Amino acid sequence: MQAGKPILYSYFRSSCSWRVRIALALKGIDYETVPINLIKDGGQQFSKDFQALNPMKQVPALKIDGITIHQSLAIIEYLEETRPTPRLLPQDPKKRASVRMISDLIAGGIQPLQNLSVLKQVGEEFQLTWAQNAIISGFNALEQILQSTAGTYCVGDEVTMADLCLVPQVANAERFKVDCTPYPTISSINKRLLVLEAFQVTHPCRQPDTPTELRA
């Protein structure tokens, strides 16, 4: 199978898509975006065509090297193994464990509880509190963990996969009106990351499918 330019199926606001967009940007991988609008038409992720691509009916999915990968961390690990420069996992196995622990905490312990499909099930009345609880409980733990792993960024002074998870999750926290003042470590790392080019060009307010009123 000959693969052309990688294709990223993405939604501007999806925090999991943003993680992968940052990885692609940092590694300088040129790709094409196919927007999947999670709201329009009852959710384009439910279309037959997209379900064939990702039976989980979620973004992101990445077509690359003749295969389609979904699950953002699996995509990032694949990019890391096949395009190792610049690296997103440290060399030291103990530091790699810290990076994966933080990434999994966000990708498995926070985001799944406040994503669109779960909030739909919770019901409109309780959505905000539900999402806030998930984020606050995760951030309480994360703040404590980062105090022993962080340097300039989440783990030491290099940008790692953990940072790719942190920034989009903080954006979700802001969207759900979580007060981030009890999280000075999270907030200051987030601030330092947001000024980096790879985080700026991949920001939800600058995507091909960002609605005009949300563009910046």
Binding residues (CB under 8 A) for a copy of itself: these are 54-58, 65, 67, 69-75, 77-78, 81-82, 93-94, 96-97, 100-101, 103-105, 107-109, 111-113, 118, 121, 130, 133, 138, 140-142, 144-145
Output the smallest distance, CB 55 to a copy of itself, in A.
4
Of 115 and 203, which has the nearer Cβ to a copy of itself? Answer: 115
Output the smallest distance, CB 77 to a copy of itself, in A.
5
Output the smallest distance, CB 164 to a copy of itself, in A.
14
Of 25 and 69, which has the nearer Cβ to a copy of itself? Answer: 69
Output the smallest distance, CB 204 to a copy of itself, in A.
21
Of 86 and 112, which has the nearer Cβ to a copy of itself? Answer: 112
Count of C-beta atoms within a 10 Å radius of residue 113: 17
Checking DSSP bridges between strand 7-10 and strand 32-35, what pairing results, if any? Answer: parallel
Instruction: Determine phi and psi for 9, rounding to 5 degrees.
Output: -90, 120
Of 154 and 203, which has the nearer Cβ to a copy of itself? Answer: 154
- Cα-to-chain-centroid distance, residue 44: 20
Asked whether the beta carbons of 98 and 73 are under 8 A apart, the reply is no
The residue whose two tokens read 């994503």 is 115
Q: What is the CA radius of gyration of the chain?
A: 17
Output the smallest distance, CB 161 to a copy of itself, in A.
11
Of 140 and 188, which has the nearer Cβ to a copy of itself? Answer: 140
Checking DSSP bridges between strand 61-64 and strand 7-10, what pairing results, if any? Answer: antiparallel
Of 58 and 207, which has the nearer Cβ to a copy of itself? Answer: 58
Instruction: Determine phi and psi for 87, rounding to 5 degrees.
Output: -75, 145
Show Cβ contacts of residue 56 under 8 Å, excluding neighbours closer than 6 positions: 70, 71
Checking DSSP bridges between strand 61-64 and strand 32-35, what pairing results, if any? Answer: unpaired
DSSP H or E run through 62: strand 61-64
Output the smallest distance, CB 75 to a copy of itself, in A.
8
